[in-house]
Amino acid sequence: MTDSHCHLASGRFAGEADAVVARAAAAGVTRLLVPSTDADDGPRVLELAGRHPGVFAAVGIHPCAAWEVSGHDGWLESLEAWSREEKVVAIGECGLDYFHPPPEGVGWEAYKARQADVFRAQLALAEARGLPVVVHHRGDGCWDDVVALVRERGGRVKAQFHCFLGSWAQAAPLIADGHRISFTGVVTYKNAGEAAVCVREAAPGSFFLETDAPYLAPVPHRGQRCEPAMLADTAAFIAGARGIGLAELEAETEAALSAFFPRLA
């Protein structure tokens, strides 16, 4: 299986990355897609991808880092250079976040506008490089804005809407346009809500599996530090909810991943 979104470069895995990768492989999770979140994260993600055959990278600026990074010259040029590395398969994690508050002294409107500018720049880079984007979306009113910005590219950039917790009505038209959603361990929670409906409704090949480690550990690990190995528990739950075998789910999601991320080989 592939964990399509895990933060292996997080400080919460400091000094343990090799062991985390080994535990994932022992659980059958042999490929990890690791996104960066800010300008400092990029080199760490690339180093991990270079050290582990099963680790691949995405390079991008998280919306919560947009205000800081846009004040530094060269951030976009750095992303462009990193995107040419052999094991970089996407641009991201990028998008919009209306949940976390802006920096002190910065108003919401200015904060949202800066996030949109940084996201647009990364969408344009993804189009130029022929890469998909890994999209973050969180907070009231964020969904419509993030979808509108993706659609500004006229279908020339495909997006993975990671940690999808929205409704089937939101997911269906995006999937029809060639975008994909991905499910975390949240779908195993009793309060999963609309995401649980999407797990049942999504057509084969229209979604991926992820942990978002070190966050959002699935049942029965809820409350612990999440690791890519725990993807096995999320996969087993989703297979059961869809009434199929785990091997069938793995085959469907792996084929979809390879088609969506051509460099993921």
CATH number, domain of 152, equals 3.20.20.140
Q: How many CB atoms lie within 10 A of CB 200?
A: 11
Question: Do 64 and 35 touch, CB atoms closer than 8 A?
Answer: no
**Which amino acid is present at 212?**
D
Measured CA to CA, the distance from residue 204 to residue 166 in angstroms comes to: 18
Smallest CA-to-CA distance from 70 within 37, 118, 28, 33 is with 118
Q: What is the pLDDT of residue 72?
A: 65
Give me the number of domains the chain comprises: 1
Measured CA to CA, the distance from residue 171 to residue 164 in angstroms comes to: 9
Residue 265 covered by a domain = no
Q: What is the DSSP letter of 42?
A: H
Q: What is the pLDDT of residue 71?
A: 61
Identify the domain containing residue 153 by its residue range: 2-260
Residue 99 covered by a domain = yes
Question: Do 94 and 56 touch, CB atoms closer than 8 A?
Answer: no
Q: What is the pLDDT of residue 69?
A: 86
Structure tokens at 253: 């999601």
| Sequence-ordered list of residues with C-beta below 8 angstroms from that of 13, at least 6 positions apart, any chain | 7, 20, 213, 214
Q: What is the pLDDT of residue 212?
A: 98
Q: What is the pLDDT of residue 39?
A: 87
Q: Which residues of 74-103 are buried (b: 16+ CB within 10 A; e: fewer)?
A: ebbebbeebbebebbbbbbbbbbbbeeebe
Structure tokens at 113: 């506008």
Residue 78 covered by a domain = yes
Q: What is the pLDDT of residue 265?
A: 72
Structure tokens at 18: 């090799």
Per-residue pLDDT of the chain in tens (265 residues, 90 and over written 9): 999 999 999 999 999 999 999 999 999 999 999 999 998 899 999 999 999 999 999 999 999 999 988 666 789 999 999 999 999 999 999 999 999 999 999 999 999 999 999 999 999 999 999 999 999 999 999 999 999 999 999 999 999 999 999 999 999 999 999 999 999 999 999 999 999 999 999 999 999 999 999 999 999 999 999 999 999 999 999 999 999 999 999 999 999 999 999 998 7
- pTM score: 0.96
Structure tokens at 176: 């029809």
Structure tokens at 91: 């641009």
Measured CA to CA, the distance from residue 50 to residue 35 in angstroms comes to: 14
Q: What is the pLDDT of residue 264?
A: 86
